[in-house]
Amino acid sequence: MTSDHVTADLPVFAVFLVCALFLAVWAAPHRGTVTEFYVSDGRLTPAHNGLALFGDVMSAAALLGSPGLIALTGYDGTLSVLGPAVSWVVVLLLVAEPYHGKGQFTIGDRMARRLRPRAVHLSAGIATLLVCLMYLTAQLVGASALTVGILGTSGRGMEQGVAAVLGALMILYIVLGGMGAATLVQTLKAVLLLVGGTALALAVLSRFDWNPGALLSAAADHSGHGERFLQPGLRFGDGGTTRLDSASEQLALLIGAAGLPHLLMRINAVPSRRDARRSVQYAALLTCAFYVAAGVLGFGAAALVGTDAIAADNPSGNTAVLLLAAEIGGSLLLSLVACLAFATVLAVVAGITLAAATSLAHDIYGAVITRGTVSEQRELFVTRVAAVVVGTSATLLAMFAGGLNVSFLIGLAFAVAASAIAPALLYSMFWQGFTTRGAMWSIYGGLATSVSLMCLSPQISGSATAVLPDLDFSVFPLRNPAIVSVPVGFLLGWLGSAPFRAASRAARSEDRITRGVSPRG
């Protein structure tokens, strides 16, 4: 792509950002309560919240990554859109309704309903912060890498600037508007994403006389792989390790969605359990619909642009949709899709920053440091400071890590969510014998297992695409630790609870008796 797109892109993008910023100020909280700042008083309608929830899940990976993977690897790429869709079934069945609670904002709050508050607030807060920081950094790095994809070689050197601008905007949104602003940006982006994705998919189909069969045939013809493009095997190849690797990645996607802090936070932005369920329903339906369009875009890119051209432009295929847009509608459409991609990143990082700031202020500062004695005004102030701190550190990390291959961070964020947060959360909601000790073991154990296995994996060292390609200490053969660390998280939760269960039950009934007798109840 050439540099004349710069002139077309930048004004459009700048106008969009300014508009969005004004919207954030307009949506800013007026009453200054924490409930309003964290969850918009829990007053969103299910449809609105569902749309925003859909937006939270649709990161740049969904708009650019999945179609790109399909364009490069055909059938194997389509597997990447199935996992997120199916994970909604898990969230709807196990998490949406039991997680909802009035006056609760964080994962620590939910666990503290039955466990010792201070300990679970601290551990859940640490896990939340880690997941959010990794996810944030990966999104910001992805966005700055996208700049090069859009602006071509002239975009080099602007990468860090883009990360800084996006980081500053996301901090500003959250500090000014809290959940209200995050929801607004997310809604705006979700609508644009749906409209844009559908329109682009329809434009692709119209090129093939509305015949999906012709689209698939053309994709296979232009992919350079022929019939094999539509069959399994291009991405994962043979061998037991790759097979285990793909199973591990899918496990992380499936379970991890039930432990992502920014998704869980949205569940409390509606008035009732029924509305929480309805929000997730809306989000799941929109996700399914969007992924059909993403499939059309992926195969369309292979058919119209050609797999070789896509791989030549970007080896990971992230620019496939941009190339497709340029092919269909020229530079104007390219600019629009590029803006859409930046809006997507911005909305997602804003949501994550809010979740991280809430956890830092409410869990760590509010419940652990001040033991719940902090005033509402002060907690609100701390939240805003926390948003600045978290946002700045993620932006700095992203600028520092710009030259490294940090694609493993998304996988690691999902793996930590799946092995440290999800087991303890599910146990605390569904197993009465779960103890605080079990929660500690599960959270810290899952966290340590997933992070240390990732450090020993070929993602960090010992392969050409690793973060540290010159070193080799990769003892663990898989690229995603979930298949080991998720069972470890669940097992530790059980081990920490079951053997001590009888003792704790006796203590609890004793506790109940003394409470029943005491005059203060």
Partner 1 sequence: MYPQSRPPQQDALAAVILYLSRLDHGRLYSDDELARAMNDCYASFGSLDTLSLRYGRSLSSEGTEARARRERRAWASRVAADLARRHPHARSVPIASGTTLSAALEAAGVPRRARAAHRRALLAGAPVIALYLLISGSANAARDFMALPVAGPLNVGLGLGLLQLVAVAAWVLWYGRYSETSLDPLLESLGTSTEELRHRS
Do 61 and 253 meet the contact criterion of CB atoms below 8 Å apart? Answer: no
Choosing from 30, 31, 213, 514, the residue that interacts with partner 1 (CB under 8 A) is: 213
State the burial class of residue 286 (Cβ atoms within 10 Å of its Cβ: 0-12, 13-18, 19+): buried
Q: Which residues pair with 44 in a beta bridge?
A: none
> Of the candidates 361, 21, 52, which has an alpha carbon nearest to the alpha carbon of residue 177?
21
Residue with tokens 């030549």: 312
Nearer to partner 1, 255 or 328 (CB): 255
Q: Is the Cβ of residue 185 or residue 297 nearer to partner 1 in the bound state?
A: 297
Binding of partner 1 by 292 (CB under 8 A): yes
Task: Indicate the length of the chain as a whole number.
Answer: 521
Tell me: does residue 76 bind partner 1 (CB under 8 A).
yes
**Which of residues 79 and 127 has its CB atom nearest to partner 1 in the complex?**
79
With CA atoms as reference, report the closest residue to 29 among 348, 380, 349. 380
**Smallest distance from the beta carbon of 485 to partner 1, in angstroms?**
19
Whole-number Å distance between alpha carbons of 40 and 33: 9
Say how far apart CA 102 and CA 192 lie, in whole Å.
Answer: 31
Q: Which of 8, 21, 289, 468 binds partner 1 (CB under 8 A)?
A: 289
Which of residues 12, 98, 329, 370 is near partner 1 by CB under 8 A? Answer: 98
Question: Contact with partner 1 (CB under 8 A): which of 6, 92, 491, 495?
Answer: 92
Distance, first Cα to last Cα, the chain: 71
429 scored as a contact of partner 1 (CB under 8 A):
yes
272 binds partner 1 (CB under 8 A): no
Q: Where does this chain touch partner 1 (CB under 8 A) — which range of 214-222, 255-263, 372-380, 493-501?
A: 214-222
Q: Of these, 48, 110, 222, 278, which contacts partner 1 (CB under 8 A)?
A: 278
Identify whether the C-beta of residue 270 lies closer than 8 Å to the C-beta of residue 106: no
Q: Which stretch binds partner 1 (CB under 8 A): 92-100, 319-327, 388-396, 417-425?
A: 92-100
- Site for partner 1 (CB under 8 A): which residue of 274, 505, 508, 512? 274
Q: Is 349 in contact with 181 (CB distance < 8 Å)?
A: no
Token couple for 58: 């649709």
Q: Among 15, 18, 19, 93, which residue interacts with partner 1 (rule: CB under 8 A)? A: 93
∠ CA 105-108-109, nearest 5°, is 50
| Ranges of H-type helices in 231-319 | 240-256, 261-267, 273-304, 307-313
CB-CB contact of 149 with 319 (8 Å):
yes
Nearer to partner 1, 3 or 432 (CB): 432
Per CB under 8 A, the list member of 88, 342, 441, 494 interacting with partner 1 is 88
Residue numbers 293-332 binding partner 1 by CB under 8 A: 295
Sole residue written with tokens 């369009």: 293
- Which residue among 199, 288, 369, 404 contacts partner 1 (CB under 8 A)? 288
Round to whole Å and give the CA distance between 385 and 391.
10
Planar angle of CA 107, 493, 414, nearest 5 degrees: 55
Closer residue to partner 1 in complex, CB, 14/202: 202
285 lies in the site for partner 1, by CB under 8 A: yes
Q: Which of 75, 444, 476, 500 binds partner 1 (CB under 8 A)?
A: 75
Cα 263 from Cα 128, distance rounded (Å) = 12
Task: Please pick, from the candidates 38, 135, 291, 414, the single residue that binds partner 1 as defined by CB under 8 A.
Answer: 291
Q: Which is nearer to partner 1, 273 or 501 (CB)?
A: 273
Enumerate residues 216-255 that contact partner 1 by CB under 8 A: 216-217, 220, 227, 230-233, 236, 242-243, 246-247, 250, 254
Count other C-beta atoms under 10 Å from residue 520's C-beta. Answer: 4
Residue with tokens 């690691």: 412
90 lies in the binding site for partner 1 (CB under 8 A): yes
The number of beta carbons lying within 10 Å of the beta carbon of residue 294 is 29
Q: Site residues (CB under 8 A) for partner 1?
A: 75-76, 78-79, 81-83, 85-86, 88-90, 92-93, 97-98, 212-213, 216-217, 220, 227, 230-233, 236, 242-243, 246-247, 250, 254, 273-274, 277-278, 281, 284-285, 288-289, 291-292, 295, 429-430, 432
